[in-house]
Amino acid sequence: MSAGTRWALNHMPLTAAAVEEAAPVLTGRRLAMCLHVEPKTAALVTLLAGAGVEVTLTGSPGTTHDDVAAALRDLGVTVHTRRADDEADHARNVAAVLECEPDLTLDNGADLTLSLLRSGAPAGWLGGTEETTTGGLRLREERVGRPVVVINDSRLKLLVENEFGVGQSVVQGFLNATNLMVPGMRAAVLGYGPCGKGVADTLARLGARVAVCDTDPMRALQAILDGHRVGSSVEVVSDAQAVFTATGAPGVVGAEELAALPDGALLAGVGHFAWEIDAAALRAATVRTVEYGEPGRRVGHVRADGREVVILDRGRMLNLTAANGNSIQAMDLGLTLQVRSLAAVAAGGLASGVQSVPAPVEYRTATDLVAELA
């Protein structure tokens, strides 16, 4: 077990209690899992393996901690992932994981579940969970004949992990990746859902001057009432020193936004997939690139007029590529919801289809968290 995993386990009492409680319905199950392979995930996998669950695991491109993956292999867990993996490697890893013919799935972005559905789900597949809103949206476009619980539909998770956990960890990743000062910085946040709100509010608390764009007028109003300047995407990026994309939607930073960015602006990804920056528009606007430090960490794209925009970690989730992900306590909550939702799927009784966390699971977990923090 890696030192980071031991540290995480010491601070994840809710997850440990949930696994112990769920063991009667999870023991002996085959779990196919796609989740960022880092210490909190390893803590969950260690607990599940100790409870007799057969876990086969992959991660996401660019976010795997290779030492954590190696330690899990030493534990006897089947792990298909490396930090250097690209999208093609990821697809192969997903296929390899599904060879275990799972009873249950735990997914992050829906790649695993969609692959299972499109290749023909095994008869023994009972259903599973999906961590993200992005994955939930993708799955709701499909015909899913088993229950799949979207953890990010939980109001509890949106508040604790997304708003407070992501806000802290993304800003920490930004500091690690740039070594720049936040107080006084002009920042733009695209998207004011729970993750975007968490990033914007954290930046503001540290003294940044924050502008927000959200196409939902209710969220835009909330951003104004929270003290942020609001405008269109072009308006808010036009004087930004750092731009954080937190919409989850592809191509949010397109040709117009790229043209409006001032010289030296930094672009940081918050959403699950690295598609919020329009790659074709970026290529079209770039005449040459400049690497600042380790490959891919800070890449300057110089435009024809000499102005430069710097992409951090290829637009991938900065809290995972440049930091250690969300805080342990925030992930303790989210992984507790995962375990209890998987147990509900395994126990039967949930309707087929994509759905929110069962109300009793959310209420019980909120009650436990209040008791832990009080």
Q: What is the pLDDT of residues 315-353, one digit of tens each?
A: 888 888 888 888 898 899 999 999 999 999 999 989 999
The domain boundary residue, chosen from 305, 321, 337: 321
Note the pLDDT tens digit of each residue in 30-60.
999 999 999 999 999 999 999 999 999 999 8
pTM of the model: 0.81
Q: Answer yes or no: do 238 and 217 share one domain.
A: yes
Q: Answer yes or no: do 206 and 238 share one domain.
A: yes
**Which pLDDT belongs to residue 71?**
92
Q: Answer yes or no: do 49 and 134 share one domain.
A: yes
CA angle 340, 41, 8 (to 5 degrees): 100
Q: Answer yes or no: do 115 and 168 share one domain.
A: no
Please compute the mean of the pLDDT values over residues 201-222 and round it to a whole number.
96
Strand 147-150 and strand 229-230: pairing? unpaired
Strand partners, 203: none
Check pLDDT > 90 for residue 158. no
Check pLDDT > 80 for residue 285. yes
Cβ-contact 302, 265 below 8 angstroms: no
**Which pLDDT belongs to residue 203?**
97
CATH code of 134's domain: 3.40.50.1480
| Structural domains in the chain (count) | 2
CA distance 116 to 4: 32
**Which pLDDT belongs to residue 22?**
96
The domain boundary residue, chosen from 296, 321, 346: 321
Q: Answer yes or no: do 310 and 177 share one domain.
A: yes
**Which pLDDT belongs to residue 321?**
86
**Which pLDDT belongs to residue 244?**
97
Given pLDDT bands bounded at 50, 70 and 90, which one contains residue 157?
Answer: confident
Check pLDDT > 80 for residue 272. no
CATH code of 182's domain: 3.40.50.720
Q: Answer yes or no: do 317 and 337 share one domain.
A: no
Given pLDDT bands bounded at 50, 70 and 90, which one contains residue 238?
Answer: very high
Check pLDDT > 80 for residue 273. no
**Which pLDDT belongs to residue 349?**
86
**Which pLDDT belongs to residue 327?**
87
Cβ-contact 155, 362 below 8 angstroms: yes
**Which pLDDT belongs to residue 232?**
96
Check pLDDT > 90 for residue 4. no
Q: Answer yes or no: do 145 and 197 share one domain.
A: no
**Which pLDDT belongs to residue 160?**
86
Q: Answer yes or no: do 134 and 42 share one domain.
A: yes
Q: Answer yes or no: do 129 and 215 share one domain.
A: no
Strand 104-107 and strand 127-130: pairing? parallel
Q: Answer yes or no: do 241 and 177 share one domain.
A: yes
Q: Answer yes or no: do 309 and 337 share one domain.
A: no
Q: Answer yes or no: do 100 and 209 share one domain.
A: no
Determine the structural domain holding residue 353 and report its residue range: 3-157+327-373
Q: How does DSSP classify residue 349?
A: -
Check pLDDT > 90 for residue 171. yes
Share the mean pLDDT of the chain: 92
Note the pLDDT tens digit of each residue in 175-189.
999 999 999 999 999
**Which pLDDT belongs to residue 296?**
87
Determine which helix (DSSP H) or strand (DSSP E) holds 257, and give its type and residue range: helix 255-260
